[in-house]
Amino acid sequence: MNQFTKKTNSPEPGAEAGRAQSPWVAGLIFKMALMMIIIAAACWARVHLNDKTEQLAREKSRITEEIREKRTEIQTLIAQRETLRSWENINSKIKQYNLALRAVNPSQVRYMKRFEGQVAAPSQYGGDTRVADTSAGADRTSGGIQ
């Protein structure tokens, strides 16, 4: 027996005589298998996350393209609306369909006061509740219809 390390050449007191210290081999194999499973799971997670990232990037580019197309379409529709609302277009349609319309006389236009958040009685408007009257028989001095 070595006095400094207290090692003996004889087997451990609780060990079987025919078995040569195999528990540490089983523990090593178990630990190695566990490490391999953890590494495989990490690799699988990485591949899965990369696939998901690429899928989301493709979807983002598709949606970005749709947004760009919709914005272009909106700008085109706004331009068409402004063209259709222009006086030149309205005047050409009046002439095209021979409509008996004419421009509004400024004395026919009245403005209403706007009260935010409340419904006002006609007396609160100061009695002036008329708006543009473009009928052919409109009285230009009083705003009433004949």
How big is the chain, counted in residues?
A: 146
Q: Which domain holds residue 81?
A: 23-97
* Residue 70 within any structural domain of the chain: yes
Distance CA 37, CA 80 (A): 64
CA angle at 78 for the pair 63 and 93, rounded to the nearest 5°: 145
pTM: 0.44
Q: Which two tokens stand for residue 21?
A: 């210290």
Distance CA 76, CA 38 (A): 57
* Residue 85 within any structural domain of the chain: yes
Tell me the per-residue pLDDT of 102-117, one tens digit each, with 9 for 90 and over.
778 888 888 888 777 6
Domain count, the chain: 1
Distance CA 140, CA 134 (A): 10
Tell me the per-residue pLDDT of 4-46, one tens digit each, with 9 for 90 and over.
666 656 555 555 555 555 788 888 999 999 999 999 999 999 9
Share of the chain above pLDDT 70, in %: 64
* Residue 52 within any structural domain of the chain: yes
Given phi > 0 = left and psi -120 to 50 = alpha, else beta, which region is 113?
beta
* Residue 36 within any structural domain of the chain: yes
* Residue 30 within any structural domain of the chain: yes
Distance CA 62, CA 55 (A): 11
* Residue 67 within any structural domain of the chain: yes
